[in-house]
Amino acid sequence: MSKNTFSIGGVHPHDSKISRGCAIEQLPLAPTVYLQLSQHIGAPAKPIVAVGDKVKVGQPIAEPGGFVSAFIHSSVSGTVKSIAPRPDLAGIPQMCIEIAVEGDEWAPGIDLSDTLVTAIPEDNKAIVEKIRLAGVVGLGGATFPTHVKLSPPPGSKCEMIIINGCECEPYLTSDFRVLMEKGEQVVVGAAILSQVMGGVPCTIAIEVNKPEAIAHMEEVIGKLGYKGISVMPMKMRYPQGSEKQLIDAVMHRQVGSGALPISVGAVVQNVGTALAVYDAVQKNKPLVDNTLSVTGECFPRQANLLVRVGTPIKYIIDYLGGVPEDAVKVISGGPMMGKAIANLEASTLKGTSAILFLTAKQTLRAPESGCIRCGKCADACPMGLEPFLLQRLARANDMEALEQNAAQDCIECGCCLYSCPAHIPLLDIIRQAKGAVLGAIRARAAAAKAAAEAK
Ligand code: SF4
Ligand code: SF4
């Protein structure tokens, strides 16, 4: 049994991987897709098509809106019907490009064959540019543009690529299915990432509740013969797949408050991102689809679906039989870090990893009682924070003390909430406080910059 894990905090929720046996299926095309312009970290993309334009699958329809931003490509062929705000998963209006689907014609130059291309181009700059042009972003949740991660700032050096195959959130199984069914492509993608960063070692981290994936990836690595790629079996523990915790578990290095993984020599990419890198570099295929799990005990038709980006959530659910009668909550992502879907008419994003149905019993929150100072929340916090203190400061609106006690470092993992015997909504309270603290930090930085420029 592996002992590889992060050093502080964490919890062990039941893994509930009930869709793990479901092979990836291609979802039939929806009649209409809606591609949100802001579906990555950074500036929203800017449309480069107009209403009435005919587009093909893989054709760019929006360009990066800044340095940290990404291209968006049409995921279908058809006609642009509108470029207008539309409510997102939370019901908040977001600019979207609406495309009515007419057939399935792909842009020229995209290799849709199953042939595995193992020879990696030599020009690393050209590889990073291909990744940028393909609109690849991190598919592990953060959706950070991948080409930016692969361009370390001057003075920093990557020493290791970590491919995150932990999938530590309960219920999620799409990364597991990708490892089992597209393991070769993931390994070529990992070899590309390793080469781009200077031939550094690459570790594929997989938790031990996926022994078939560990064995399969070891076999694929042996077969393909790239140097410096290995599998590291990880102990099961949540939130192992969180970037800072994974770096700690694999490299035994701590990423400081507000710092990036590259500051300790690490670049972390998710399994789905490694696949998207393979597609972009070896097949000229932009990021137009991704695999997501549709699951939950109350959902009779478990599935892992390959879905075109921008497909309406309701279309996916209807394809699988509709919302189950006893489901009271639908979540985008897992139960720990996922977000409640308030609007089933909203569409998937590049980073959508799951649609999860929960029953009233599963979502029931016991009434909140007073803090008994048991310290369980602090023991569980993987960031070494004191959640009981943070919630007290948040309720008192003491912004200065919240910042001093590093509320901004919260990774919103929910371990504190999961552990609290008094059922205090720690995550909700701390998440809100974190947003306010980060807003104040950004405002201060902007004011300091403006003052410096005025001199
Ligand atoms: S949600 Fe934040 S405060 Fe709570 S355990 Fe996770 S990192 Fe710590
Ligand atoms: S776990 Fe809950 S009851 Fe225990 S110290 Fe933390 S906030 Fe208080």
Enter the pTM of the model.
Answer: 0.95
Closest CA to 110 of 284, 282, 277: 284
pLDDT value of position 40: 84
pLDDT value of position 454: 84
DSSP secondary structure of 390-448: HHHHHHTT-HHHHHHTTGGG-----HHHHH-TT---HHHHHHHHHHHHHHHHHHHHHHH
How far, in Å, is the centroid of ligand 1 from the Cα of 238? 12
Tokens 């972009």 found at = 280
pLDDT value of position 136: 97
Nearest alpha carbon, ligand 1 atom 4: 416
**Whole-angstrom distance, CA of residue 33 vs CA of residue 96:** 9
pLDDT value of position 149: 93
Q: Where are the domains of the chain?
A: 136-283, 376-454
Question: pLDDT at residue 24 above 80?
Answer: yes
What pLDDT digit, counting tens, does each position of 37-63 carry? 998 888 999 999 999 999 999 999 999
Ligand 2 pocket member 420 (CB < 6 A): yes
**Atom of ligand 1 at shortest range from CA of 383:** 7
**Whole-angstrom distance, CA of residue 341 vs CA of residue 361:** 18
Percent of the chain residues past pLDDT 90, beyond the cut: 93
Ligand 1 pocket member 213 (CB < 6 A): no
Question: pLDDT at residue 310 above 90?
Answer: yes
Ligand 2 pocket member 421 (CB < 6 A): yes
**Whole-angstrom distance, CA of residue 182 vs CA of residue 276:** 11
**Atom of ligand 1 at shortest range from CA of 412:** 1
Fold of 136-283: Rossmann fold (3.40.50)
How far, in Å, is the centroid of ligand 2 from the Cα of 296? 29
Ligand 1 pocket member 407 (CB < 6 A): no
**Atom of ligand 2 at shortest range from CA of 416:** 1
Nearest alpha carbon, ligand 2 atom 3: 371
How far, in Å, is the centroid of ligand 2 from the Cα of 423? 8
Cβ atoms within 10 A of the Cβ of 361, count?
A: 10
Which pLDDT band holds residue 140 (cuts at 50, 70, 90)? confident
Tokens 């003052």 found at = 451
Percent of the chain residues past pLDDT 70, beyond the cut: 100
- Looking at the CA of 386, which ligand is closest? 1
Beta strands in 326-407 (DSSP E): 327-332, 339-340, 354-359
Does residue 75 or residue 3 have the better pLDDT? 75
Query: Which ranges constitute the DSSP H helices of 151-229?
Result: 174-181, 183-196, 211-224
**Atom of ligand 1 at shortest range from CA of 434:** 2
Question: pLDDT at residue 450 above 90?
Answer: no
For ligand 2, mutation pick of 11, 424, 426 (most atoms within 8 Å of CB): 424
For ligand 1, mutation pick of 416, 426, 429, 434 (most atoms within 8 Å of CB): 416
What pLDDT digit, counting tens, does each position of 226-244 carry? 999 999 999 999 999 999 9
pLDDT value of position 41: 85
How far, in Å, is the centroid of ligand 1 from the Cα of 420? 12
Ligand 2 pocket member 211 (CB < 6 A): no
Query: Which ranges constitute the DSSP H helices of 7-105?
Result: none
For ligand 2, mutation pick of 365, 368, 376 (most atoms within 8 Å of CB): 376
The residue-averaged pLDDT of 424-434 equals 95
Helix 271-283 vs helix 124-133: angle between axes, to the nearest 10 degrees? Answer: 110
pLDDT value of position 39: 87
Question: pLDDT at residue 341 above 80?
Answer: yes
**Atom of ligand 2 at shortest range from CA of 419:** 1
